[in-house]
Structure 1
């Protein structure tokens, strides 16, 4: 035997392990994309992202991709949104007129309620109604405001259909507003034809033209606002002009707000007379609700007339009448609860102090103007400040005169053929008083601010 015969024989598993080479260790693999945060922390650089050629989009393809809002053609979108505006605005009018017709001694059917309700809706746009007692042209301003709001919303939705937010051109917004105006005029003409009877006549052509103009103004306002154009156009105006327009609008709202407050106080003091007036009709709860609804739809008209009472010119409730703080000449007043607040006699000589109401409105607007300019400019120069304050007077006067013009009208052909405030005297007095108030308040606020800054 050889010398290594003393060693024990190797086991089979050990022999196989010695015969086969051991596997070399595998190199450490790179971290997957899921461990991107760890890879960025280790390498100090973010991993490079690649996009497959099929996923890349050219700018032209992105621009040409249709959005969800551009699915409906503009004529269809304008017709549908405008029809919805008509339905929403006319429904409360139909309910109020239906309740009011319960007071009538003659029985009425659903067709008569629909005709009268749609006629009242047309009246809210300024379309007169001809009856056997004469023309009715006193516009209920609540109906006007509701209709304007809904048509503006129709303009917004029509503008979204053509994608005004995705373009820098004003053309799509204008087309949307025009489409809404045309559709509104078509609906007005159709309704004017449908409501006319022997005892209540409405000119279909006048209804179509009036509602077309109304729809153009409100529809364009909504469409242009959706595209952000009013803000862009205002930004191009000189700063003093912008400040004057804003301050005049604030002053006009304050004057009308004072008129609304005066109307509310007068109704509160005459609540007993208004309640007796409602009780004289001897009708049920629904009929009384109709009387209250009539008073509510004409409440903004009364606020304008009360503002004219505060400013000085006053208003009329029929031909040959006059209601002002200095003189009251009244005849027979319609038995409507809202008119129970009309004063029956003139105020004492101290009533001239009522002119302090529009003066105070102008002073508040002037103070707000100066406060805004102090925050934006620090210490504005005198010419720009006084120019903006003086411009607020004509702006407020024009706005109040326009409100007086649309708040008046007629209820019949005889005594009640003239109701409302005279626009031009009211606008003239408002211009002078508001301009004086804004200039005084703006100048005083500027001087006080200078005094406070001195050590």
Structure 2
């Protein structure tokens, strides 16, 4: 495969990724324009709305300036001070990240890994910049200076992950600059800490997704009631559902912060956390139906979920230490691995918490999401404790297995190692 072909294919996949992301929002809006407005209004308004939704999902800020006339048309009492929407609909970002990882995996299979990855990121960033320029209005205007960088960074993170996953398949391959600085024991500890942190956070996110799914099922009637109260019709209901689906990853990460302990803010001074509830009323958005009005002190049992998740992953991660060439299975190596999981996992959780929060509108929706440093600190501590428990349990299990009758019989039957001949070499 030649270099120009790799560049073309990588750029083409970046274009497809952007087209799908915009099209998910543009398709229902176009249907609304055709059926509800009978194509009598400008289609450009719906294009700009889809562009704003796509850019917002990637993390680009939207500046909103509602004048008095616009505020009155929306049913507001008067002019609203200009504000900035900073919360990202992570469903769009997650799709872009996954597609970027796909591009990275494909580029890693060619001799021109860096060329393909850079070409796809540059094309995607340029598309985001042009889309931001086309969506500028006096009322809502995406930050065009952020568009290329923020959108390109999201896509580039996926590309880097895809390349890293392809590289990780070759477990015996270690870059020379790493081998020169880290010995076998240090490499085993660092590798186990990275795998343990990523695996623990992934399992914790999965548990949070299960919690959100259970809340959706148990509060389904209340959500349906909110849909009926809005009276948005079929087309409006579909558009609203797609918008809520884009924010569903945010809800999962907020549930993760609830399981960790610090909880998350929904506009009030008191966060929604185990043992507390809402301190303010919420808008009638169906997805808000899953937020508990109050939780009892029994909910503090949920704090055990992060510890259990880390303990399971720590138990499985122990193989990377005991099976390494250096057999890094001593108390010091286990403690350093648990500490590494706490630091790396806490940093990942803090990043996810920061990424999931922001401002949606002034007033009750001005502060949404967890406090990054708090959820990262508590999450890191809980993951570190859980990893230490899992590693210790696996270590004790291996030691007990060495004293079983089968293990002693295997040691007796094992052939003795051959001794090297002692003496002058034969010329």
TM-score relative to the length of structure 1: 0.74
Shift of 1:271: 1.0
RMSD of aligned alpha carbons: 3.1
Shift of 1:82: 2.2
Structure 2 residue 389 is matched with structure 1 residue 431: no
Given that residues 178 and 220 in structure 1 are in contact (C-alpha distance below 8 angstroms), is that contact kept between their aligned partners in structure 2?
no
Aligned mates of 1:300, 1:448 — CA distance in 2: 38
Of stretches 377-386 and 246-255 in structure 1, the one that deviates more from structure 2 is 377-386
- The CA distance in 1 between the partners of 2:349 and 2:160, in whole Å, is 23
Partner of 2:311: 363
1:65-104 paired onto structure 2 within 5 Å: 69-70=1-2, 72=4, 76-95=8-27
CA radius of gyration, larger in: 1
Aligned 8 A contact 1:103 1:281 in 2: no
Structure 1: distance between partners of 2:311 and 2:35: 47
Structure 2 equivalent of residue 441 of structure 1: 390
Alignment of 1:49-448 (within 5 A): 69-70=1-2, 72=4, 76-95=8-27, 109-132=42-65, 134-155=83-104, 163-164=110-111, 172-222=112-162, 232=173, 236=179, 238-348=187-297, 350-371=298-319, 373=321, 380-448=329-397
Gaps of 5+ in 2: 67-82, 405-427
Structure 1 residue 212 displacement after superposition: 3.4
Report the number of matched residues. 377
CA distance 1:103–1:287, shift in 2 (3 Å)? farther
1:51-89 deviation per Cα after TM superposition (whole angstroms, max 9, x unaligned)? xxxxxxxxxxxxxxxxxx317366655543322221122
Describe the shift of the 1:151–1:353 C-alpha distance in structure 2 as closer, same or farther (beyond 3 A). Answer: closer
| Distance in 1 separating the partners of 2:362 and 2:343 | 34
Which residue of 1 is the match for residue 412 of structure 2?
none
2-side partners of 1:218 and 1:204: how far apart? 22
Report which stretch shifted further, 90-99 or 424-433.
90-99
Instruction: Summarize deviations over 1:276-307 as a string: whole Å, max 9, x none.
Output: 00011223323222222222211111111111
Q: Give the TM-score normalised by the residue count of structure 2.
A: 0.79
